[in-house]
Amino acid sequence: MSKAKKTEEKDRIPNMELILIGSFFACFLFWAVSKCSVTQSKYEQEAALNTPKEIVDTTVVQKEIAPTPSDKPVKKVPKTKTIIKEVALLYAVVDGLKLRTGPTRDSSIVKELTLNEPIYFLNEVSDFKEKINMGTYIADEPWIKIRTKKGHEGWVYGAGVNYYKVAAKVVEETSDFEN
């Protein structure tokens, strides 16, 4: 075999390897994108099913029916119109979070919420923020209007709720031992 032919064969092998690697990468990329799309759509469907819904307005509308020449009486059939609105589910992340009648600390207390108690966000937020000492940090959050599962409505401080549950209560122990 001539030297030029050997060199040409050596150049072809790396080119073939690059083509194989490139095609493998393209296949992998196609598979990963399709897998992510399927997973994302599955999560979106689960979220749509798990999103709490609340009936906002139910009204009864009477429909007039023209009299007929027959002897039979005509009944008026009521129609109902139901509007369903999605509400966000939040969790109390502070044990003993106070549900108040208004968005201030001076408002009367309606109820104390327990840790990880599910509550519904009613899409109302105070126009102002308030700084409150949360123990380990000072939060600067607005007040938000919520409803409990038992139907209590009121305002809670924004730093006391979250979209995620807290794993467990954190108990800090201090020791006053001197060596």
- Rounded to two decimals, the pTM is 0.48
The answer to whether residue 29 scores a pLDDT higher than 90 is no
Neighbours of 97 (CB within 10 A): 21
Please tell me whether residues 80 and 130 are part of one structural domain. no
In a domain, 68, yes or no: yes
In a domain, 176, yes or no: no
Single-letter code of the amino acid located at 154: G
* CA 54 remoteness from chain centre: 15
DSSP of 108-144: PEEEEEPTT-EEEEEEEEEEEEEEEE-SSSEEEEEEE
- Token pair 């409990």 is found at 148
Please tell me whether residues 151 and 102 are part of one structural domain. yes
Identify the pLDDT of residue 3.
63
Span 74-92, pLDDT tens digits: 566 566 665 555 667 889 8
In a domain, 9, yes or no: yes
In a domain, 178, yes or no: no
Percent helix, strand, coil in the chain, to 5, is 30, 35, 35
In a domain, 14, yes or no: yes
Q: Domain span at residue 38?
A: 1-50
In a domain, 131, yes or no: yes
Residue 141 region by backbone torsions, left for phi larger than 0, else alpha for psi between -120 and 50, else beta? beta
Identify the pLDDT of residue 171.
46
Please tell me whether residues 92 and 157 are part of one structural domain. yes
Identify the pLDDT of residue 77.
57
Q: What is the average pLDDT value for the chain, to the nearest integer?
A: 75
Total domains in the chain come to 3
Single-letter code of the amino acid located at 177: F
Please tell me whether residues 34 and 4 are part of one structural domain. yes
Single-letter code of the amino acid located at 53: K
User: In the listed set 34, 69, 86, which residue is the last one of a domain according to the structure?
Assistant: 86
- Helical (H) or strand (E) element with 15: helix 3-50
Please tell me whether residues 69 and 36 are part of one structural domain. no
In a domain, 107, yes or no: yes
In a domain, 173, yes or no: no
